A and B are shown apart, each in its own frame.
Chain A
Amino acid sequence: MLAYIIRRFVYAIPLLMGVNILTFTLFFVVNSPDDMARMQLGEKHVTQQAVENWKQQRGYDLPLFWNSKASNPITKTIFYQKSVGLFSFNFGISDSGRNISYDIKQRMWPSLAVALPSLIVGLGVNISIALFMVLFRQTYIEIGGLVGCVILMSISSLFYIIGGQFLISKLLHLVPISGYEPGFNALKFLILPVLIAVVSGIGSGARWYRSLFLEEVEKDYVRTARAKGLTETQVLFKHVLRNALIPILTGVVVILPVLFMGSLITEAFFSIPGLGSYTIDAINSQDFAIVRSMVFLGSALYILGLVLTDISYTLVDPRIRLT
C-alpha cells in the first residue's frame, strides 16, 4: 500500500512537468515577455528601457527553453527558473508584484466556504431524491421525477444564477445579491450561492445516483433480502443504499481536493473573493505567473484526488488490493 502510494506520487512528477510545459508553450506562443511587460506597465508611454527593466526584475529576460549562450543551456532559461519553484509549491511573485502563495492562502477559504456546503447539501439532496424515485419505481412518481430531472438538466447554469439572484435577492430581499465578508457574517452571503449550486446539480446528480441504486436493486442479494421478508424500505436503506454508497463516495473523493480551486462562474457572479475569481482576474489581466501557479495547483490537486480515490476504494471495499 505504502509502496503503491509512493509510486503514484513519483508518477505525478512527469505529469506535472507535462502540464507545466503545455502551459508555458500555450502562453508564450501568443505572448512574448515584451507584451506582458507592456500589459503590466500600461499600454502607452512605455520606453523600451522600462520594458527591459521589468523583464530583468521578473526574470523574463532569458530565453524560453534553451539558452545557447550560457554555460548551462537548460537552467538559464525562463522555463527552468520559473518551474523549479513550483515543484516545491513556492509560487513566487505575480507579474503585478503580489505574493502568490499568500494570495492563495487568503483566497482558498472563501472558495471552500462555498464549495464544501454545496457538495455536502447537494449530496444529501440528490441521494434523497434518487432513493425516493427508486422506492416508487415503475409508478408515476418515478416518471414525474425523471421528467423533472431532464428539465432541470436542460437549463443553463447561468439561468439558475440569474433567476435565483433576481427572485430571492431582488424581489424578495431575503439575502444580499453578491459580496462577501469574512467570519460569521459570510453566512448571509453564502446561502444563495449554495442554494443555487444545489438546485442546478439536482438534475444530473439525482439521475446518476438513481441509476446506481437501480443497478444494486436488481442484484441477487437484494432479492434474497426481500425473500427473507424485509420490507422495501428496509431493503433500500440497509442493503441498497449501503452498497451503492461505494461508487458515490469514491466519486466524491476525487473532487474533494479540487474543491479548493472554487467555482469560476459562481464566484464571478457573486463576487466572492475565492480562487475561482482570482483565476478569472488573472486570465483577464494576462498575469502569467498566477495562471501558471493555478494550473499547477489544480493539476497537483487533481492527481492527489486520483490517489485518494484509489485509497478510498480499498477502505470501503475489502476485495480491492492495491499493488
Chain B
Amino acid sequence: MVVLWTDALLYFLMFILVSGSYYLTTQVQFKRPLEKIISNKTGILSLVVLMFFILIGLLDSIHFKASNNDTQAIISLLDYVATPLRTQTEKTYSAPFATHLFSKENIQVSSQESIWGYPRLKYGGANLNNPETEKLGDISRKTGLGFIKGMLVFALLLACMYYLSQTVTAKNFHIWSLLGCLIVISAILIELSCSYHILGTDKVGEDVFYQAIKSIRTGLVIGALTTFIMLPLAIVFGILAGFYSGWIDDLIQYVYTTLNSIPSVLLIAASILMVQVYIANHQAEFTSLLVRADMRLLGLCFILGLTSWTGLCRLLRAETLKLKAMDYVQAAQALGVTNSKILYRHILPNVMHIIFIAVVLDFSALVLAEAVLSYINIGVDPTTYSWGNMINGARLEMAREPVVWWSLSAAFIFMFSFVLAANLFSDCVRDAFDPRRN
C-alpha cells in the first residue's frame, strides 16, 4: 500500500464532505434548501452521474506496489481491475474497434516474403480468425453478454436495497433507472474492452479508453483539492476583512488586489517553474515517476488555490459588511458577546450559502482550466493522464489524412459529461441556496 499525497487529501476531503453533508441534514436552516435539491430531478440525476465519476476517481486513488512483476511499479486499484486495458498496448495508432493497425508497414509473411499492408493488431479482436466477416457478430454478441451481466448486477443491487432499506419506490424511479443505465453501460464497455480497443489506441499504442478513465482522477483532484485549499483562505480573510475595518481590512484588500492584478497565467507559470526546480533539486526524495508527477499535481492544486481565492474573498467581505450592520449582530455586540463568537455564531452561518454556491461553481471551471494549462505546458506533468494532455497529444494529428479523431473525441466525451454534470448540479445548488431566487 502506497499513499500518495493527493490520495490522502482526496480521501480526507471525501470524509469532510460526507460528514459535512450529514451535519447539514441536522441543521434546521438547511432543511429547506436540501429538500429542494433532492426534489430537483435534473440536480439529483447529475449528482448520481457525478458520484459515478467520483467513485472511479476514488478507486484510482488507492495505490499499491504491483508485486506480480519485478518492476515494482506503483499501480492503483483501478489499474488492477483494468489490467487487460493497461497491458494490451499495440504498436501505434489504431481506430476504435479496429482489428488492423492504422498505418501500413512491412508484414513478414514467410521467411523471405513480406508485403506492404495493414498488419493485424496484437490484442484488438485477436480472437477472430476472419475479422472482416466475424467482427460485427462478435461485437453484438459481446454487447448482448455485457447487457445481460449488467442487468443481473443491477437486479441484485435493486433486490438488496429493497430488502435493506425502503429507498426503492416509485418516487425514486428516475434515480434508479439512471443508476441501472450507468451499470449496464459500464458492463457492456467492460465486456467489449476486454477484446477490443473501444476508443482506439494512441501514438504509442496505449488504449485511449484507459487514458480517458485514468484522467477522471486528475480532473477530480484538481477540482476538489483546489477548492479545498482555496476555501479556508477565502473564508478567513473575507470575513475578517469585512468584520474588522481599519488596517486589517486595508491589508487584506491590498493582498487580494495585488494577487488579482497579476495575470493569473503568469503567476501559475512562475509557480509551476518553482515546483519543477524544487523537484529537480530533490531528486532523491521522489523514488518513482508517479510520486514525482503526484507532487507536481499537488503543487498545481496549491498554486491554483492561491490564485483563485480572491473572488470568493471579495464576495464574502461584501456580505459580511452588510451583515455587520444588521440588528441582530449589533444586538449581540451590545450584549457583550465576544467578537469570535459573533463571527462563528452569526456571520459564518449567514454567509454559508455564498460558500456553497462558489464551491460548486468553481469545481467545473477548474476542471476546464486544467486542460488549458496543460496545453501551454504549465499544467500537470506530461506523464500524468489528463484530458488536457490527451488533447495536447492529439491536436497535431488532426492534420493527418485520414484524421486521427478518437483521442480528441474520447477526451471530449468524458470531459463534457463530467463538466456538464457538475454544471447542472451547481445550478441546482444555486437555485436551492440563493435567497434571491425564491
Q: Write the residues of chain A forming the contact surface with B, with a CB cutoff of 8 angstroms.
A: 14-15, 18-19, 22-23, 26-27, 29-31, 150-151, 153-159, 162, 165-166, 170, 215, 261, 264-265, 268, 279-280, 283-284, 286, 291, 294-295, 298-299, 302-303
Contacts and interface: CB of A to CB of B under 8 A. Distances in A.
B261 A156 contact: no
B162 to A, nearest CB: 34
Chain A CB within 10 Å, residue with most, of B261, B423, B424 = B261
A153 B276 CA distance: 32
Interface residues of B, number: 45
B204 to A, nearest CB: 21
B261 A162 contact: no
Interface string B413-431: 0011001100110010000
Contact of B398 (A30, A170, A265, A286): A170
Given A26-B274, A30-B277, A170-B398, A295 B262 contact: yes
B90 to A, nearest CB: 25
Contacts of A31: 273, 277
Main secondary structure of the interface of A (DSSP, over half): helix
Interface of B: 254-255, 257-263, 265-267, 269-271, 273-274, 276-278, 364, 368, 371-372, 375-378, 387-388, 391, 395, 398-399, 403, 408, 412, 415-416, 419-420, 423-424, 427, 436
Contacts of A18: 254-255, 258
Contacts of B364: 153-154
A26 B271 contact: yes
A155 B367 CA distance: 11
B266 A156 contact: no
A265 B273 contact: no
The 8 closest A-B pairs by CB, nearest first: A299-B261, A154-B420, A18-B258, A26-B270, A302-B261, A30-B277, A154-B419, A298-B263
A166 B263 CA distance: 30
Contacts, number: 110
Given A154-B420, A162-B398, A265 B270 contact: no
Contacts of B398: 162, 165-166, 170
Given A166-B398, A303-B261, A268 B423 contact: no
Q: In this complex, which of B262, B266, B376, B387 has the most chain A Cβ atoms within 10 angstroms of its Cβ? A: B266
Contact of A15 (B257, B271, B419): B257
Contact of A265 (B254, B376, B399): B376
Contacts of A284: 377
B415 A23 contact: no
Given A150-B423, A151-B420, 17 more contacts: A14-B254, A18-B255, A22-B259, A30-B270, A31-B273, A150-B420, A150-B424, A153-B364, A155-B416, A166-B398, A265-B376, A268-B376, A283-B378, A291-B266, A298-B262, A302-B260, A303-B257
Given A170-B398, A284-B377, A294 B266 contact: yes
15 contacts: A22-B259, A23-B266, A23-B270, A26-B267, A26-B271, A26-B274, A154-B416, A156-B387, A158-B371, A166-B398, A291-B266, A294-B263, A298-B266, A299-B258, A302-B260
Contacts of B377: 284
| Residue among A154, A165, A299, A302 facing the most chain B CB atoms (10 A cut-off) | A154
Contacts of A295: 262-263, 266
B261 A157 contact: no
Contacts of B265: 264, 279
Nearest to A299: B261
A29 B274 CA distance: 7
